[in-house]
Amino acid sequence: MSLNKFMHQRNRYKNKKPSFLDLALKYPEFRAHTTQDESGKVFLDFKNAEALRALTTCLLKEDFGLSMELPSDRLVPTLPLRLNYIHWLEDIVGKEENKWGIDIGTGASCIYPVLAASMNKWHFLATEADDENFVYANKNVSANNLQDYINVLQVTSEDILVAPLQSFTQTNKFDFCMCNPPFFADHLEAQAITNTRSAQRPEAGSVSTASPQECIAQGGEVGFIRHMIEESTVLRDKIRVYTSMVGKKSSLQHLKEDLKHHKVAKYSTTEFCQGKTMRWGIAWTYDPTVHFPKSSFEARKEKPPLQYIIPRGAGGVDYKVHEIAAYLQSLLESIKFHCYQGKKAKSYTSITLTAVENTWCHQRRFRRQQKQQLMSLQTYAVKPINSEPSPQKAEVITAESSPKKAEVITAESSPKKAEVITAESSPKKAEVITAESSPQKAEIMSESIPLIVENRSAESNHSQVTQKRVLETADEHITSEPKRSRSDSVSDNATSACVNGSAKINTTNFSPSKKNDSNEPESQELNKSLTDSSPTEYILKCVLRLKLVDEQVQLELEWLGGESRELMHQVLTFIKNKLTVPVGKC
């Protein structure tokens, strides 16, 4: 897919591609690298480094009146990409003359300073560590009579910003810095051997012309730009805006985290689109008055909020905005969403949702496991015990000590936890003694775990009552609505045990229609609601809105940020599943 339509609107190549035929007729050095088919169309081999070099030098001469000499073993700059970067800087700092910028690693062509100085009369400090690049950069500046605008400074490979500025005192403050950093950390990554490039992905349409010293640096582009960020914390407002190109989209997230860590005033990213190639730009500043333009590529991807009409009867609450909002908030908090109450009106409310982990997927699998555990309880809740008069045969099973496996507690191994009277000590009747009936004889009831006691007698009424009570309790745990208050439930995390130790149910019970039973004063609750303590690092952040539209409650989810917009779609699906109205209750 061609990305030309997403080029910067002022890029001269957006709507007018270079005519290879005209260039071939006018420049013999370009014509030598072209071919022509029977219809007269001219083609250029983009996998030939010499052809790319001829194309760039001819375009600079034809479209900008610039003379450029490029060595055969150094990077050949592509003009549409360089123009996109310069136009982006114009949007940030303005197009006025006499802007001061720093070009970190200017290269043999010194392309950014030469173009910007000729177009806008901008002044540059251009740094370069490679000896050959330094020589050619000075040649190209002199060949175009731009010595009054561009000062090329040779530095070491470790010098990024601080050292060059200490030796350059022509101005006290720069408007911006720019950089096209080495993209790769080593030769293997540069040859796409150790990177994440898919085997099915087609090869690049053009050859790479960069030398190893131009495309490889310790830590790759992330390491290089991190060095820039660290030095910017020292220089701060001595450079108004710090910028760099980024070659891989995966690098952006790491760099954003670094910028957040260093607490810069603002940062922004953009896309540089041209042909079939995309690069990215990242910018940050310590000046809060700086305005970063919105990416036209991202703007084209903006989508309206997700919408859903809440069905009547959903959640078992009144069909009112705030009752439904309370239910949804309790539901989302139960799966570890951070909820911050925003604007609230009579028939409108908004809640900012922040998630640091994905807890809403695989809910169907979780429910299936719960169903299997309930069936296991119903099958194995009560099991007769062998009538042999041995205290080891009378077994009490609980999940008190291990939620993953029910522990067997016998009167012999743990007389403190259970005492069982068998037929040997009482021939008339095998009696079961629990903590409820005799606290002094048995201490086996945990705070929130149902107890199942088995005895030998199948005719015992007590055994039948115990089985019925356990099954009713398990049913209540499975079918209960979200967010039951602590006083209404046996436990927030009810765990039922069965004889073979293989079934475990761990559910959280909530009831949205009941208010929190906390003793905290209302004023404290109000103060808490006014403080947004949302996590600063997250995988998803969005706004949930509920409003009354034509007597119907409409839900909206608007994307704010995170790893992927797809996560927001998953959350909406989760909410829809929870709001499904049973048949006959509409």
537, two tokens: 């690092």
Q: For the chain, what is the radius of gyration of the CA atoms?
A: 36
HSE-up (13 A, CA, CB side) for residue 499: 14
Dump strand ranges (E) for 97-226. Answer: 100-104, 123-128, 150-154, 174-179
Contact 308, 575 (CB under 8 A): yes
Q: Is 105 annotated as a binding residue?
A: yes
Determine whether 94 is exposed, middle or buried from the number of CB atoms within 10 Å of its CB (0-12, 13-18, 19+). Answer: exposed
Q: Is 65 annotated as a binding residue?
A: no
410, two tokens: 């016998």
309, two tokens: 């009409």
CA nearest to 227, candidates 249, 241, 205, 242: 242
Taking the chain, what is the end-to-end CA distance rounded to the nearest angstrom?
Answer: 48
In the block, residue with structure tokens 């296991």:
376
Neighbours of 226 (CB within 10 A): 17
- C-alpha 144/C-alpha 121 separation (Å) is 13
Write the DSSP assignment of 129-156 as a string of letters. Answer: --HHHHHHHHHHHHHTT-TTTEEEEE--
Please enumerate, as own/partner, the contacts of 14-19 that have beta carbons within 8 Å and a separation of 24 or more: 18/55, 18/59, 18/62, 18/63
Q: Is 584 annotated as a binding residue?
A: no
Cα 321 to Cα 180, 312, 344, 440, 513, distances in angstroms: 52, 11, 10, 53, 13
Q: Is 386 annotated as a binding residue?
A: no
Contact 509, 493 (CB under 8 A): no
List, as residue ranges, the binding site for S-adenosyl-L-methionine: 82, 105, 128, 180
List, as residue ranges, the binding site: 82, 105, 128, 180
